[in-house]
Every structure is written in structure tokens, then in C-alpha cells.
Chain A
Amino acid sequence: MSKARIEASLNEKIAELKKDKQPERDLWPGIELAISKEDFSGLQHSRVERRKKYLAVAAVVMFGFIGWFTISPQFVLLTGDDLVASLSAQHEAQKHELLVKLRSQPALTENWQDQLAELDDAANAIKLALENDPNNMALLKMLQSVHQQQISIIERVHSPKWSQI
């Protein structure tokens, strides 16, 4: 056969080729089994995913509560006398820390300690009033304000001159 004839014969065979062909064995049972398994594992997967979501939400809520109790214990856990004692303890710790930090710096005024003492007297008077009315918010705010004034005096008298210009 000539090359051209062979090529023509090949093209003819390609055109005649029956594209459909049936497999010798039934493939459906294997396919059905595989897709059923997939659906089951998909279902299990979604269940696991849902469980994970619930756990994540529970963890967030739990950490939220822990955070709330840790960050602001004085407002949530403490009331009355305990709250006043806690506020005073926190203030004393902050004041002490600040005085230690600024110890090496000279004070700009002579009477800053007198001012602190006066504010201490004011704080004691407020605390006395709080003994009779421990949950009085106005008195608690006054106490916080006095504490804040003491911190401000310490910082102000120890800050360098140039920063006050």
C-alpha cells in the first residue's frame, strides 16, 4: 500500500471508530460504595467541624470570663470594705513603685511630701465615710481622685525642668 493510501485508510478508521465501549464488569457497585463512604465521612467531618466550632465558642466565652475577672476584679468581685481596701492597696503599690523609680531624680519643690500627707488625710476621711456607706459611688470616686492627685504630684515634682516648659 502507498503512504497516501495508508494515511487515507487511517483517517477512515478514525472516522469509523465506535467511541462507546462497555466495560466487562459492572462498575456501579464500587462507585456507589465510594460515594456513600464519602457522604458518611463528609457527615462525620461536618459533625467534627460543628463540635470544633462549639468548643471554640466555649473557649472564647471561658477566656472572656477569666479575662474579665482578672482585669477588673475590684469591680466584679469586690464590694464595700473589700473594695476600699483593694483600691488603697493598689494605690500604695503604685505610689511605692513610682517613688522607687524616681528616687534618683531631685524634687522640684520642697513641700511635695506635705502635699502628699494632706491628700493622705483626705483619703483617710473618705475611707472613714465609706465605712458607714461602703457602696457609695460618689465617695469611691473621690477616693480614686485623691489617689490620682497623689500620683500626679509625685510625677510632676520629679520630672525634669525642660519637660515642664
Chain B
Amino acid sequence: MNTHGNVVAAEHKFATKSELDLIKAVQGGDKQAYNTLYHQYIGQVYGLCYRLTGEKALAEDAAQEVFIQLWRKIGNFRGQSKFSTWLHTVTSNVTISYIRKQKGWVQKMFNIEDSAAMNEEADASSSSVDLESYVVRLPERARIVFVLHAIEGYRHEEIATMTNMAVGSSKSQFHRAKQLLEEWMKDE
């Protein structure tokens, strides 16, 4: 048992070390290493982008933007936290700012939320409707807050800073999202 524990710890240490080597190579401008890093993390990045944007095409563009920004910012990573945690923050910030840029001027001026998605039926390809298809139907602000707080574990204070909204608004958006999801699930 103890030997197994040591092996697991050693494997984890090895993985961390090889990842750090990879990151150092990327910091040195190695594009091949960056391609490896991309394949390692695209699932995590795209998954978060998709839940935040609620649209496949927008999520793909946002994920590309994340990896372009990451190439510029990776020099700032000093290894003080886990790379995945750091990348997570970069992804959230870049995607939120990407969503803001993509919003039309009408939405910007009148703060109209897209309600079309709300009226769409959830993807019922599987017998049990999965949470993700509900989440992407949520209105934009409620969706972002729900994803960041309930799924990704950010505090409302952090979300408020990331999204430029008041802490109270973050909390009320979260309750709104929860209410909508529970309502939809009731009809399941």
C-alpha cells in the first residue's frame, strides 16, 4: 500500500516535472512544445469556453483566442500555482472579454439578453437530459455566473471582479440561473 502510494506520488512528481519542462520550452518560444500543450489542454479550455458562451462556434473562436493570448502571457507563469489553475483563470478572463466584444451594440446599449436560447428545447438525444444542454440555454449573465460559481468554484467576489458587476448582481444572477434550471428539470 505504502509502496503503491510512493509510486503514485513519484508518477505525479514526474508528470509535474515534465509539464514544467514543457512550459519552459514554450516560454522559450518552442512552437512544437506549444502544440503538445495545446493538445493536453484544449479539452479543458474548450469545455469552459462552451459553457461560458453557450454556442459552439463562439466557443471555438474563444478557445482560439485563449491559446493566442496564452502564447503572449505564458512568460508570466512562474510555477507558483498549478498550471491548470492558472490556465483556468486565463481562459475565464479571455472568454468573458471575448463575449463582451462579440455583443452587438444594441445589446451593449440596452443590456438586452438573448432569450431565444431559453425558448429552445434542450437537446434530448439521450434519455436523461444532461446539465450542459440546460446551462447553455441560460441567459448570458446568469449562465456566466452559474458556470463560474457552481461549476468552476469561483466566489461571487471573484466573479464580480472578472465580469465587472456588483457582488449582489452576481448572487442574484446565480439564483436566477438556479431557478430556471430547477424549473426546466422539474419538467424532465
Beta-carbon contact of B185 and A9 below 8 Å:
yes
CB-based nearest A residue for B59: A23
Check: A71 CB closer than 8 A to any chain B CB: no
- Chain A residues with CB below 8 A from B63, complex form: 23, 27
Bound CA–CA A35/B32 (angstroms): 12
- Chain B residues with CB below 8 A from A49, complex form: none
- Chain B residues with CB below 8 A from A19, complex form: 44, 47-48, 151
- Chain B residues with CB below 8 A from A24, complex form: 56, 60
Beta-carbon contact of B64 and A17 below 8 Å:
no
Residues in B116-154 with C-beta less than 8 Å from chain A: 130-132, 150-151
Beta-carbon contact of A20 and B132 below 8 Å:
no
Beta-carbon contact of B131 and A31 below 8 Å:
no
Beta-carbon contact of B64 and A7 below 8 Å:
no
Instruction: Count contacts between A and B, CB distance < 8 Å.
Output: 74
Beta-carbon contact of B68 and A34 below 8 Å:
yes
**Interface residues contributed by chain B, number (CB under 8 Å):** 31
- Chain B residues with CB below 8 A from A102, complex form: none
CB-based nearest B residue for A28: B38
Q: Please pick, from A14, A20, A38, A39, the residue contacting B43 in the complex, using a CB distance under 8 A.
A: A20
Check: B112 CB closer than 8 A to any chain A CB: no
Beta-carbon contact of B59 and A14 below 8 Å:
no
Check: A25 CB closer than 8 A to any chain B CB: yes
CB-based nearest B residue for A27: B64
Beta-carbon contact of B43 and A21 below 8 Å:
yes
Beta-carbon contact of A10 and B31 below 8 Å:
no
Overall SS of chain B's interface: helix
- Chain B residues with CB below 8 A from A30, complex form: 64
Check: B98 CB closer than 8 A to any chain A CB: no
Beta-carbon contact of A23 and B68 below 8 Å:
no
Q: Which bracket fits the contact residues of A? A: 20 to 34
- Chain A residues with CB below 8 A from B56, complex form: 23-24
Query: A23-B59, A24-B56, A27-B42 in contact; A10/B64 too (CB < 8 A)?
Result: no
Q: Closest CB-CB distance, B44 to chain A, in whole Å?
A: 6
Beta-carbon contact of A22 and B182 below 8 Å:
no
Query: A6-B182, A28-B38 in contact; A13/B130 too (CB < 8 A)?
Result: yes
CB-based nearest B residue for A17: B131
B interface residues (Cβ-Cβ under 8 A, vs A): 29, 31, 34-35, 38, 42-44, 46-48, 50, 56, 59-60, 63-64, 67-68, 71-72, 130-132, 150-151, 178, 181-182, 185-186
Q: 14 other contacts beyond A10-B181, A14-B131, with CB at 8 A cut-off? A: A7-B182, A17-B151, A19-B47, A20-B43, A21-B43, A22-B43, A23-B42, A23-B46, A23-B60, A25-B60, A27-B46, A31-B71, A34-B64, A35-B31
Q: List 26 A-B contacts (CB under 8 A).
A: A10-B181, A10-B182, A10-B185, A14-B150, A17-B130, A17-B151, A19-B47, A19-B48, A19-B151, A21-B50, A22-B42, A22-B43, A22-B46, A23-B46, A24-B56, A24-B60, A25-B60, A27-B42, A27-B63, A28-B38, A31-B64, A32-B35, A35-B31, A35-B68, A38-B68, A39-B29
